[in-house]
Amino acid sequence: MTPEEQKQVEALQKQNEALLKKLELANLKITGLEMMIDSAEEELKVDIRKKSGTKQSEA
């Protein structure tokens, strides 16, 4: 492998690590938001999540 190719591989590895960290943070955020929605639904006795078969209103 040439030095230029080695640099490209290292850059891609760093980029991959950064993207994996971002993905992990995004998944943590989703989990937290889902917990908040669950709590609000239970406390307010209201369905907050959109039903999968529901169409959006045309406003």
8 A C-beta contact, residue 37 and residue 49 = yes
pLDDT in tens, 6-57: 999 999 999 999 999 999 999 999 999 999 999 999 999 999 988 777 666 6
8 A C-beta contact, residue 41 and residue 48 = yes
pTM of the model: 0.72
**CA 12, CA 52: separation in Å to the nearest integer?**
38
